[in-house]
Amino acid sequence: MRICIIGGGLTSLALAKALVNQNIYVDLLADKKKHLIDKSRTIGITKSNVEYFNNNIVSVDKIIWKLNKIEIFSEKLKKERLLKFQNNNQELFAIVKSFDLYNILEKSLKGNKFFKRNNLKSLTNIQKKYDLLINLNFSNLIAKKYFAKKIIKKYKSLAYTVILKHEKINNNIASQIFTNIGPLAFLPTSDVETSIVYSIKNNSNIRQEKLIELINLYNPKYKIKKINKISSFELLSVNLRNYYYKNILAFGDLLHKIHPLAGQGFNMTIRDIRFLIDLIKNKISLGLPIDRSICIEFEKKMRHKNFIFTTGVDLVYELFNFERKLNRDLLTKSIQKFGKNSSFNKILTKIADTGI
């Protein structure tokens, strides 16, 4: 049994490691040029997904920064807190630098007898060479031919990411502020560093000086020593209409993309990996082949879940955006009231942790 993964990014490596841990032979095909990971980008991983990563992919405890509280604010409520999530000082969420996670995955696969990495040369007849082909590449022939139908929403916004270096503090609380120009997240990565993700309406680039001024305006507690290079990317919401073609399965960001305000993009992918691995393990235990049936069952189970989750995150964004346009605070005050209800808070926390 041999599975082929097309793509050289973070998700490709995580999926490959999860598969080889099941003693499945994996060929990873990627462009000759080394995949570049933006050092300003970070990923949020929920508690249940950290546990899955540690037990089924690779231990990440040494590179993650655990958070035990998440606070949500709105500019309309001034300094009043909109929502608070915590669980008796226990870990809720973890932040990891994309670059660190990529390196630990790459190192864990090096020399593994079940893993082979080759340069992507041609896709001609590749479908017949493998039991299952998993494509994560956006621009290759397979994606253009079989996975071109998508539901796409352009937010006409850019997400700016940067790492702040600051004086040492007890830094285990993440905060997000719904500002008048978009959501701003402060995501601790250590006692002396914090990642910033600021999603700003309008596609035109903001000058670095102006962005720093905005960050300092909403800065909750950090005495900044240095601001590293700022990066940006366009914000999209994407849902693929069909997840597979014959024995080819689309995966990763090719399946779905969401607004970063909830920090759930990579968590959706980990949940996809979990279900796919369970499907494959079940087939093997029953002595059944790894074939097109995997793709059919995966789409049947995950497509509606991913669509609902993506739509839910988009709805949150649009509600706050609509309120901003009306210049009223009815929504934020209603959410603040519901947020004080412990049952409502627990439901939101569970959905954020495990998905739908």
CA distances (Å), origin 261, targets 177, 237, 308, 318: 10, 12, 16, 11
pLDDT at 338: 64
Average pLDDT (238-254) is: 95
Number of domains present in the structure of the chain: 1
Could you give the angle at the alpha carbon of 216 between the alpha carbons of 213 and 222, nearest 5°?
155
Return the structure tokens found at 348.
């939101």
Note whether 135 and 48 are within 8 A (CB): no
Average pLDDT (161-188) is: 92
Name the pTM for this structure.
0.91
Q: How far is 354 from 285, CA to CA, in rounded Å?
A: 26
Of 109, 103, 137, nearest in space to 123 by CA: 137
Residue 103 predicted with pLDDT over 70: yes
| Domain range for 143 | 2-354
Residue predicted with more confidence, 205 or 318: 318
Q: What is the mean pLDDT of the chain?
A: 88
pLDDT digits (tens, 9 = 90+) for 39-96: 889 999 999 999 999 999 999 999 999 999 998 888 877 667 778 888 777 888 999 9
The domain spanning residue 312 has which CATH number?
3.50.50.60
